[in-house]
A and B are shown apart, each in its own frame.
Chain A
Amino acid sequence: MAADLGNNSLTFTGQVQPKVGERDCNGQLIYPYLASPELVEAVNLAIYLERPLLLKGEPGCGKTQLARAVAYELGLDLEVWYVKSTSRARDGLYTYDAVGRLRDAQLAASGYLTAEEIKRINDQIFYVQLGPIGRAFQSENRTVVLIDEIDKADIDFPNDLLIELDECQFIVEEVKVSGREFKIQAKAAPIIFITSNDEKALPDAFLRRCLFHYVEFSNREHLSAILKSRFPDSSTILVDLAIERFLELREEMRNEKGESSKNVSTSELLDWFRVLQRYPQDEALVKLEGKIPFLGVLLKNWDDHLRYLRQVGSRG
Chain B
Amino acid sequence: MSEAVIRPARVALVGNPNTGKTALFNALTGSRQKVANYAGVTVERKEGHVVTAAGRSLSILDLPGTYSLRARSPDEVVTRDAVLGRLAGEQAPDVVVAVADATNLRLVLRLILELKAVGRPMVLALNMYDIAQRQGLRIDLEGLQRDLGCPIVTTVATRKRGIDELTAQVDALIASGALATENVWHELSAGEIRAAHREAQRILKAYVRPPERPDTLTGKVDAVLLHPVAGLAILFGLLFLMFQAVFTWATPAQDAIDAGFQWLGAHAASELPDGLFRSFISDGVIAGVGSVLVFLPQILVLFFFIILLEDFGYMARAAFLMDRIMGGAGLHGRAFIPLLSSFACAIPGIMSTRVIDNKRDRLTTILVAPLMTCSARIPVYTLIIGAFIPNTKVNGLSLQGLVMFGLYAAGIVSALAVSFVLRKVFWRGAVEPFLMELPTYKTPSAENVLRNLLLRAQIFVSRAGRIIFPIMIVVWFLSTFPGPPAGASDPAINYSLAGRLGHLLEPLLSPIGFNWQMTVALIPGFAAREVAVAALGTVYSIGDADSHVGALATQLAKHWSLATGLSFLAWYIFAPQCASTLGVVKRETNSWRWPIIMFLYMTGLAYLASLLAYRGAVAMGWG
Q: Do A and B bind each other?
A: no
